[in-house]
Amino acid sequence: MDTTAIIPARSGSKRIPNKNVKLLDGIPLVEHTIRTALACDRFDRVVMTSDDYKWVADRYQDLIYIKRPQNLCGDDIADQEVIYHAITELKPTTGLAVYLRPTTPFRVLYHLEEALKLFENLLDSATGLRSIERMGESAFKCFTFNLAQIRPILDETGTDCTDMPNHMVTPTYKTNGYIDIAKVEEVLAGNLWGDKIAGYLTPHTVEIDTPEDWAYAEYYAQRQLPQIIEFWKEP
């Protein structure tokens, strides 16, 4: 099946200025994702969509650079709009669009291939796939906070679980940007992941949103990455 890897890399990050090209372990952040995507033989093409940073794309002969207009580079722009623009520039009408966020820089090829294999086996029953990881503490042990008052987030039975041991509460999962897969036809129809989203469970991974996350990613790259890669290899 025709498969396109799409890497979004806009400029204008506020919390970490120029985040996508800030050096992490000696190379711009986005290049960690570029290198992994180019090494994956499941992709027919790898695309970087950006309003800037063409100099990064020029380093890689097999990387396609798509110039993204400024109106698609704001903080409030959704993934649907970014992926739709890339797809319409490339003009495929079927196949898969695989979204690889640079802010999840440490990936192992085995998990990309496994996620693609899983989704291909679910093509008749799933409209999209998103990578997830189990949260350290269930979201049902959390609160909302408004006007100095906290309110528990009730579980699916309407129970307040905030004082219960974590192992007795329904586990919850969060997306982590490791790999998200959309059907091209769903993107063109404005549905992105659709209404039947499969989940691919990954190990805990590093997501970079804040300066504190960046500091941890630097530590991870220097001290832990070799051992983690060894651990994550296919059994």
Q: Which residue has the higher pLDDT, 92 or 210?
A: 210
Residue range of the domain that includes 224:
3-132+174-232
Q: Are residues 71 and 146 in the same domain?
A: no
Q: Are residues 162 and 49 in the same domain?
A: no
- Cα–Cα distances (Å) from 174 to 4, 37, 61, 133, 231, in that order, read 24, 23, 35, 6, 22
What band does 154 get if pLDDT is binned at 50, 70 and 90?
Answer: very high
Distance CA 57, CA 63 (A): 6
Phi, psi at 76, each rounded to 5°: -100, 5
Q: Evaluate whether 137 touches 143 at the Cβ level (below 8 Å).
A: no
pLDDT of residue 210: 96
Q: Evaluate whether 92 touches 162 at the Cβ level (below 8 Å).
A: no
Average pLDDT, the chain: 93
pLDDT of residue 225: 54
Q: Are residues 17 and 76 in the same domain?
A: yes
Locus of tokens 């290899």: 233
- Could you tell me the pTM of the whole model? 0.91
How many structural domains are present in the chain?
Answer: 2
Instruction: Return the H-helix or E-strand segment holding 96.
Output: strand 96-99
pLDDT of residue 226: 53
Residue 164 has pLDDT above 70, yes or no: yes
Q: Are residues 12 and 50 in the same domain?
A: yes
CATH number of the domain residue 212 falls in? 3.90.550.10
The percent of residues above 70 in pLDDT, for the chain, comes to 95
Q: Evaluate whether 129 touches 187 at the Cβ level (below 8 Å).
A: no
Q: Are residues 33 and 145 in the same domain?
A: no
- What is the DSSP pairing of strand 45-50 with strand 3-8? parallel
Q: Are residues 141 and 226 in the same domain?
A: no
Distance CA 188, CA 80 (A): 9
Q: Are residues 81 and 70 in the same domain?
A: yes
pLDDT (mean) for 65-93: 94
7-55 tens-digit pLDDT? 999 998 889 999 999 999 999 999 999 999 999 999 999 999 999 999 9
Q: Are residues 192 and 214 in the same domain?
A: yes
Q: Are residues 28 and 104 in the same domain?
A: yes
Q: Are residues 116 and 196 in the same domain?
A: yes
Helical ranges in the chain per DSSP H: 29-39, 54-57, 79-90, 109-121, 184-188, 211-219, 225-232
Decide which of 121, 147, 171 is a domain's last residue. 171
pLDDT (mean) for 161-170: 95
Q: Are residues 118 and 205 in the same domain?
A: yes
pLDDT of residue 92: 80
Instruction: List the one residue out of 56, 77, 66 whose CA is nearest residue 4.
Output: 66
Q: Evaluate whether 46 touches 5 at the Cβ level (below 8 Å).
A: yes
Q: Are residues 10 and 83 in the same domain?
A: yes
Decide which of 149, 171, 193 is a domain's last residue. 171
pLDDT of residue 12: 86
